Every structure is written in C-alpha cells, then in structure tokens.
Structure 1
C-alpha cells in the first residue's frame, strides 16, 4: 500500500504542469490576437480618408504642403472703342529716269538763282566776317536741301527699278517649278539678274564677296588670269539696281 500511495502524489503534480502549460499557451494566443487586432485598427486610423469629391492623388502628393491650387478665372469682357479714320487722298504719278534728271536740273537752277540774288542784295561795304557767316549759313541750308533731295531721289529711283524689274522680283520670291516633284534631291536653277559693267569689258570675274551687314550688296572683282596683264576693276552691285554698279 505504501508504494501505491507514493506513486499518487508524483502523478498529480505532473498533470498540474501540463494544465499550466496549456493555459499559458492559450493566454499567449489570446494576447497575440489582441495585439494584432490593435495594430490593424491603428493602421486603419492612420490611413488618409478621402472624401468622394476628392481629386485622384497619390499619398505622396497628399502629404505635400501644396499640391493643387484652383483659382477663379476672370470673366471675359468685350470692350470696344471707335476712332476717327485718318484722312485719305488719292495720289497718282509716273516716275522715270528723265523726270529724276529734270528734277536735279531744276534744283540746281534754283540754287544758282538764289546765289545771284544774294550777291545782288549784299553790299560791297559789309564786313568780311558777316559775309563769311552768311556763306556758312547758306551752305548749311543748301546741304540740308540737297540731303532731303537725295533721299527723295533714292526713293523714286528704287520705285522705278522695282516697277521695271517687277517680273524678276516675282520670280525671285514666288517661283516654283512643278517638275521638282518628279526629281529626287535635284533642284532647278533659274537665272534672274544679269549684271553688266562697261568698265570691266574683256575682264573675268576673279572674286565675289557678299556684305555681311547689308545682305543685298555684294562686291565683284574683275581681272585676268593672264599674269602678264596686271590690271583689274572692282564694283559693288545690288540686285535692286543691276544696271548701276
């Protein structure tokens, strides 16, 4: 009987240890589930809540301080104003080289007449200093008139040349060969201007250079490839005035 009673107390604490181990496992599992559920709720509370009318933006863009700014557009307004039209006049005239030449001759005759009138009016007894001052003033006025006349003559000459060589100017700007569609990487050459210089007859063109500042002006050097004939000629030409080098 004694051995049986001795075995009983050994079995009872072994059962208690097993029950304790199971209890700790259950507690750990319960506590683990409680911790996991808490972390999920915290993550969900930290996530950004987007209203239904929110723009479709990423989380990185939403975390920025300024992502999108919507400003109001100013209303469109129409304003009208009316001004008086400038006065108009109809002007028509013809210009050619002879009329330009006659204008130069008339201006020279007027200058000669004014000189004769000034000589007749000025007395001989005046001082030389006053005469010199008058001459200077008259020369200055004449130079101003000549400058104005030269500017007007240049404009008239340009108009005459433009009317004379209008067909060449039109070809230079708007010429288009319909046969270029059937040619691969090959263009057409259309000669437009022919420059002639009477002083450079029987001479060859040995040099040509365009002016870098004035794009419509170029210089031509005439000479001979025979080194025994050391003479030549230089001229400046313009496409607007091919006959006047």
Structure 2
C-alpha cells in the first residue's frame, strides 16, 4: 500500500484526535486516505480473533495487526499511537459497554493487541468521484449501521451477526456502486444486499443500531455493505473480560492512500 508525505491531512487528523480537538465521526475527513476500524483484545484472544478475521474477510478485512503491547503502527503512518489517535473509543467489560473515552493511555497494557480493519469510507471516495451520492456525507452525519440475521463464520469463541452499513441509491446508481466497490475487496468490496431490509433482519431502516439515520428519497433503494463494526456485535456475544474498540464512525485515519487499495 502506498504512503503519503508527512504532515498531510491524515497526520493532522491524528494530531487533532490526540489533542482532543477531533472527537466526532471521520467520514469525508482527509479524503484520499484509508481509514480503519479498531479492535483491541488481550493476547489470549488474539489468535482466535485473527482467524475470525481471516474467515470473515468481507466484514473484517485486516489492514494491520500490532505487536503485543506496542501501540505504534508504523506501517500505517507517521507517529501513530493507537491509544490517542482515534477520535473516540469504546471500552467493554464482560461484553458490556462501560465507557467512551477519547484517550485510552490509562487502559493500555503490555498484554494488548490492536487489530485494524478496513473501512467502507475508503470506497466512498471512488463513489463520489464517479458522481454517486453518499447521503451521510451530504447530511453531515454518521453512516447508518445495522445488525443483521446474516451469521458470520464462527471461529473459536467468536461468533455473531454481520453488521452492515447502508447508503441509499437509485437503481442505476446502485448497479454502478456494485461495479465501483467490487474493486475494493480490502475495504468490504461489493454490497451484500440491495433492497428490502427485512430480508436481512432489519426491522426499522430509520432506527440504525449504530450511527445516524439518513433520508431515503423517492426512487431510491437501500444498499448494504459489510461493515467493520461487526466485531462489536461479536464482542457482545463473546463477552470478553476486557476489550476496546472504536466508536462506530470514529476511525483511525492512516497515511495509506485509497487508490492503492483498488483492484483493476
């Protein structure tokens, strides 16, 4: 994957998160750069979670894995500190969400492994470049995300439902979106479902499990992509004693460039 020069918009976004200036969703931030979902687990669970990601590449495409106890990820960018550079985290104890801090330095220890998972924000750049609308960016909100009735492939203790993100599109635009996003398999690739949300277990499209609802206009259909928030739904099933994730939509902005992810 390609890197960009130092002191660019991605690096500044991380500095802003580190300083507590950036605490909100990162959609449309530092356009052109790969953003990543986060899951931090204790090393006793790390091997099984790595295998879970490998068996569920659509929802959990791995971008990087840290060394045990090391908060730096030099392959993803300049001076990254995973303890501070995500705008907002989620702390889980025994499967329950207990806090949403903007800094986890006081929680970090030498037993932790960070997993960075590809994010659909990367292929949104290609959609926008092709003239396709991305509603949550238009509305200045977080992308809507939903738990589904589609199971992931269970691995060790890890199992649970697929989470999807949704973008409403007209039928012709949805076909074009399939073509565009299919070129980005390392950030979820093509949609997993188009149309009727009840067929994948979504009862109320206007009430997402994560993120914000968006307007679905006349003549549009909801289009659903596998989502890197899936580990959070799985964590609710596994109920590990301790783990940390990103808050949905609040990503690590890396120095990698989206164009390097495309498969021609």
After TM superposition, the score normalised by the length of structure 1 is 0.17
Q: Which structure is richer in relative contact order (CA contacts within 8 A, separation 6 or more)?
A: 2
Which structure: greater strand fraction?
Answer: 2
